[in-house]
Amino acid sequence: MNKLSKNDDISPEHQVAKIFEWRRGFNVTYLISLGIDLGLFKYLAQTPASTPQQIAQSLSLHYPYIETWCKTAFAVGILETENCSNYILADHFDKILANDTNPRYLGGYVKLGVDFAAKDFKFSIEAYRTGAKVPFQNRSESFAETVGIAVSGLHALTTHKLLPGLNGFNKKLERGCKILDVGCGTGKLVFQIAKKWRNANVIGVDIDKKGLSIAEKQLVKSDLKTNVEFVEGDIPAAGKPNSFDVITMIEVLHEISPKIRQKVLNNCYRLLKKEGWLLIVDETYPSKTEDFRKKEYQFPIQTAFEELTWGNILPTAEAQEKLIKSAGFKTKINRNIIGEGFTILEVQK
């Protein structure tokens, strides 16, 4: 059937229901954000079976509003109750919404929407007329911090699964090796790797002063000063050619201006030792019309929409592979899609 002709099987009610579902999603996003800001999820994780009265009293909040928040959260399945008098978090939401050190925590992703994307969408009215941008760099420390928390699940995945899973790499990690995290942001991945492999030398490089300032403050407070370093600027400032065993780029490739992407990858190639690994975790934009409704592309498509006015352009799979090959990598590129639609690319020099 021609996709541009009308489909009589779809009723107006069906389309109306979609709008109501998306609009509910908007409210639920704000309900979750409120729950995080007011400490409701943490409280319910620590004090299950609490009544709205107890929650309101303990956190000095307005009881009638908390009661409605609890009933609404129950209606959408975030809370459970037997009698609408006391409430617990529904299964797994303690990890997903109450514990920001858990790899499954998604509070940062919700806050990125409410605290930052909402403002970007307001700015979009003007930007869609003029093409204006507000880039990632130097927005605020709280923006850099929220982004770091939003992607922290990927740091755990990289530290505990992807790095040790690189062929022949587990022993190197234990014995000691040199790792460069390009676009390190607030340095969360750098610290995780350095804590897990105490013999590793881990360097983070970024062009964002705000993220690096958080990373530096953290480093001063840590016991990792001898094996961690942060560098502001371009990749060559981070080390000598042929000196790194692994270079990681977590949610960075799509953030780099397309004009300099090839240069960045060329520099990564140059800094890697022979047989060193480049490990990219990023998002892939569909290149074919038939892929736009596939599940694995829904998350990247929303990222591209949300980050449009940051100046970000998500690369397609073809563009990613061209960049990697043109940088000089000749071995097979391992490609995997995980979770909601993150792409993992692994290639060896």
Ligand X SMILES: C[S@@+](CC[C@H](N)C(=O)[O-])C[C@H]1O[C@@H](n2cnc3c(N)ncnc32)[C@H](O)[C@@H]1O
Closest CB to ligand X among 73 and 215? 215
- Helix ranges restricted to H, the chain: 12-37, 40-46, 52-59, 63-75, 93, 107-111, 118-130, 141-150, 152-157, 163-165, 169-175, 188-196, 209-221, 258-271, 295-306, 317-327
CB of 314 to ligand X, least distance (A): 12
| Contact with ligand X (CB under 6 A) among 78, 114, 147, 347 | 147
CB of 151 to ligand X, least distance (A): 5
For residue 90, the number of C-alpha atoms closer than 13 Å in the C-beta half-sphere is 10
Binding mask 205-224 for ligand X (x = CB under 6 A): xxxx--x-------------
| Contact with ligand X (CB under 6 A) among 41, 69, 87, 136 | 136
- Phi-psi domain of 239 (left: phi exceeds 0; alpha: psi -120 through 50; beta: other): left
Instruction: State the Cα–Cα distance between residues 320 and 261, nearest whole angstrom.
Output: 10
CB of 190 to ligand X, least distance (A): 9
| Contact with ligand X (CB under 6 A) among 188, 268, 323, 345 | 188
Percent of residues in the chain assigned helix, strand, coil, to nearest 5: 55, 15, 30
For 34, phi then psi, to 5°, come to -60, -45
CB of 138 to ligand X, least distance (A): 9
Binding of residue 148 to ligand X (CB under 6 A): yes
* Structural Rg of the chain based on CA atoms: 22
CB of 136 to ligand X, least distance (A): 5
**Separation in Å, CA 168 to CA 65, 187, 270, 318, 348:** 56, 25, 21, 28, 12
Binding of residue 111 to ligand X (CB under 6 A): no
Name the DSSP letter for residue 220. Answer: H
Touching ligand X, residues 232-261 (CB under 6 A): 250-252, 255-256, 260
Binding of residue 345 to ligand X (CB under 6 A): no
Closest CB to ligand X among 95 and 139? 139
Closest CB to ligand X among 52 and 211? 211
* Count of chain residues binding ligand X (CB under 6 A): 23
Binding segment for ligand X among 104-112, 169-177, 203-211, 272-280 (CB under 6 A)? 203-211
Closest CB to ligand X among 166 and 281? 281
Q: Answer for the pair 228, 207: CB distance below 8 angstroms, yes or no.
A: no
Binding of residue 182 to ligand X (CB under 6 A): yes
Q: Answer for the pair 311, 242: CB distance below 8 angstroms, yes or no.
A: no
Q: Which residues bind ligand X (CB under 6 A)?
A: 136-137, 147-148, 151, 182-185, 188-189, 205-208, 211, 250-252, 255-256, 260, 264
